[in-house]
């Protein structure tokens, strides 16, 4: 099997899904992994969920473990450019050839699952199982596993973690997780396990009450980040920020290229989770080294220029609010948004939140298998209803060019909204920079 063969097979599985509200999805994952030898039980795990921040927090935890000398696996989703990004060890994605070979060895197990009446595993389930088996085969010391959707019935909730964490609770995926903060919090808190510390970042009061109830029912000890860590001495400049995270154990003096107000909160959550790990020794110096070298692609990622270009995935209202706060802190000029939004997202709330900054909007779309963008003309109608001046440009590269022409030297072009439009334009922009260097 070649990588192209593997990619083609996975594309066929995108439509094969079952609502996460049924137990069937998790039952299938359990059966699938059993056929593969339960690879997810072969190493200690940190399990990270949340509406926003879980990918960055997972990346921070994994980087600190690697810097401490441990061979560390990381599974996050979605990927920006390539499915191989979902299975990384010490920051390096699985090679394409190994990815294809790993999937090929899984095919007999997939056939047995189908024969048993479970149906074919979805894209997400298959790539997650591939990551689990790859990590086991490579004998990693630890794995940091990001929740895909929700928590209680997510495919990752088969792990038996040393520590679990919830980075935030906001209104997203309401068609699946519920239409209230409390309902979503219950789903997120489904990752709580008996005897396992559950690290909880700052969340709305209603969400916190639900998480407390779920943690108590599961027998998990809740560890609130606000009780164990504080952020001090913040300094922000062009391409880096510095701040201290202070716990009862240490003062971590951090510098990082991971910009944004939200990354400071994520850092505090990551550090509290790391301090809860009992079978690992994680020196302060290792944490500081990890953050100094850390980058998080597509999260407040700034390419300085005249104008500067920012790539930030803000596909829900909570992430849009975080983006606005971070832009206020980082730029004095106007913001020129290039934005595409998935069909299932709350476009009205995202646009209204971003419109609190002075600037312009160029509304566009994306092309992705199994995913649909809100048509740019629909976004334009929504923008006009809420009093936002905007234009619709179907092609994202053309939309980017329009925004850049409208931007003054001290302004910023912000590519945001869906992961898919950020990935498309980030790749295109990077290739353009390379072609002229």
Rounded to whole angstroms, the Cα distance separating 132 from 435 reads 38
pLDDT at 21 over 50: no
How high is the pLDDT of residue 18? 45
Is the same domain home to 358 and 280? no
pLDDT-derived band at 134 (thresholds 50, 70, 90) equals: very high
Using the predicted structure, report yes or no on whether residue 19 has a pLDDT greater than 70: no
Residue 8 in this model has a pLDDT that exceeds 60: yes
Q: Residues 242-298: pLDDT tens digits?
A: 999 999 999 999 999 999 999 999 999 999 999 999 999 999 999 999 999 998 999
Q: What percent of the chain has pLDDT over 90?
A: 84
CA 15 to CA 21: how far, in whole Å? 17
> Under a CB-based contact definition with an 8 Å cutoff, are residues 270 and 57 in contact?
yes
* Total domain count, the chain: 2
Give the chain's mean pLDDT: 93
Q: Are residues 260 and 404 in the same domain?
A: no
| CATH code, domain carrying 315 | 3.90.190.20
Q: What is the DSSP string of 185-240?
A: HHHHGGG--TT--EEE-S--HHHHHHHHHHHHHHTPPEEEHHHHEEEEEEEE-SS-
Biggest CA–CA distance in the chain, Å, is 61
* Whether residue 333 is found in the same domain as residue 281: no
- In terms of residue numbers, what domain contains 133? 3-292
Q: Higher confidence at residue 19 or residue 292? A: 292
Question: Domain check: are 283 and 338 in the same one?
Answer: no
pLDDT confidence of residue 20? 43
The pLDDT tens digits of the residues spanning 44-91 come to 999 999 999 999 999 999 999 999 999 999 999 989 899 999 999 999
Please, is 141 exposed, middle or buried when counting C-beta atoms within 10 Å of its C-beta (0-12, 13-18, 19+)? middle
30 to 24, 35, 125, 320: CA distances (angstroms)? 10, 9, 10, 35
124 and 210 co-located in one domain = yes
Q: Which of 238, 264, 292 is the last residue of a domain?
A: 292
Q: Indicate whether 230 and 356 sit together in one domain.
A: no
Are 275 and 318 part of one and the same domain? no
pLDDT per residue as tens digits for the range 80-111 = 899 999 999 999 999 999 999 999 999 999 99
Read off the pLDDT band of 195 (50, 70, 90).
very high
- pLDDT of 174 reads 60
Domain endpoint, select from 274, 292, 310: 292
Q: How confident is the model at residue 239 (pLDDT cuts 50, 70, 90)?
A: confident
Residues 173 and 233 in one domain: yes
Give me the pLDDT at residue 392, please.
98
Which pLDDT belongs to residue 24? 47
User: Do residue 133 and residue 202 come from a single domain?
Assistant: yes
Give pLDDT, residue 176. Answer: 66
How large is the average pLDDT for residues 169-189? 82
Same domain assignment for residues 251 and 305: no
In this structure, the answer to whether residues 252 and 311 fall within a common structural domain is no
CATH number assigned to the domain comprising residue 17: 3.40.1190.10
The structure tokens listed for 331 are 């730029």
pLDDT value, residue 434:
72
- Angle of CA points 342, 344, 347, to nearest 5°: 65
pLDDT-derived band at 237 (thresholds 50, 70, 90) equals confident
Give the model's pLDDT for residue 14.
82
Do 311 and 243 lie in one domain? The reply is: no
pLDDT band for position 172 (cuts 50, 70, 90): low
């Amino acid at each position: 099997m070649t990588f192209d063969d593997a990619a083609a097979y996975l594309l066929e599985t995108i439509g094969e899904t079952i609502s996460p509200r049924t137990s069937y999805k998790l039952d299938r994952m359990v059966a699938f992994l059993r056929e593969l030898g339960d690879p997810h039980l072969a190493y200690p795990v940190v399990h990270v969920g949340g509406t926003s921040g879980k990918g960055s927090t997972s990346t921070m935890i994994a980087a600190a473990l690697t810097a401490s000398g441990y061979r560390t696996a990381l599974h996050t989703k979605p990927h920006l450019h390539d499915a191989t990004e979902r299975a990384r060890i010490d920051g390096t994605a699985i090679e394409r050839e190994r990815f294809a070979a790993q999937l090929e060895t899984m095919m007999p197990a997939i056939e047995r699952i189908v024969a048993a009446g479970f149906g074919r595993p979805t894209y997400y389930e298959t790539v997650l199982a591939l990551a689990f088996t790859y990590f086991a085969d490579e004998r990693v010391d630890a794995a940091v596993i990001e929740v895909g959707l929700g928590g209680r019935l997510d495919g990752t909730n088969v792990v038996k973690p040393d520590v679990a964490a919830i980075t935030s609770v906001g209104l997203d995926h309401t068609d699946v997780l519920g239409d209230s903060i409390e309902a979503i919090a219950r789903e997120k808190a489904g990752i709580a396990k008996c005897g396992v510390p559950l690290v909880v970042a700052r969340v709305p009061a209603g969400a916190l009450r639900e998480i407390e109830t779920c943690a108590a029912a599961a027998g998990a000890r809740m560890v609130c980040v606000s009780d164990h860590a504080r952020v001090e001495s913040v300094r922000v400049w062009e391409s880096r920020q510095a701040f201290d995270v202070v716990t009862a154990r240490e003062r971590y003096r951090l510098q990082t290229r991971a910009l944004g107000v939200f990354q400071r909160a994520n850092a505090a959550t990551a550090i509290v989770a790391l301090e809860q790990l009992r079978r690992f020794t994680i020196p302060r110096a290792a944490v500081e080294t990890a953050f100094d070298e850390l980058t998080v692609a597509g999260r407040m990622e700034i390419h300085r220029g005249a104008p500067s270009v920012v790539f930030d995935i803000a596909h829900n209202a909570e992430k849009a609010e975080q983006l606005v706060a971070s832009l206020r802190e980082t730029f004095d000029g106007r913001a020129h948004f290039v934005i595409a939004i998935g069909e299932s997202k709350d476009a009205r709330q995202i646009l209204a939140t971003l419109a609190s900054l002075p600037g312009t909007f160029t509304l566009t779309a994306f092309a992705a298998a199994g995913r649909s963008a809100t048509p740019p003309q629909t976004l334009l109608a929504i923008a006009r209803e809420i009093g936002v001046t905007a234009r619709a440009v179907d092609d994202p590269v053309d939309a980017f060019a329009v925004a850049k022409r409208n931007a003054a030297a001290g302004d910023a072009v912000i590519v945001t909204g869906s992961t898919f439009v950020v990935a498309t334009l980030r790749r295109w922009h990077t290739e353009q920079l390379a072609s002229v260097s």
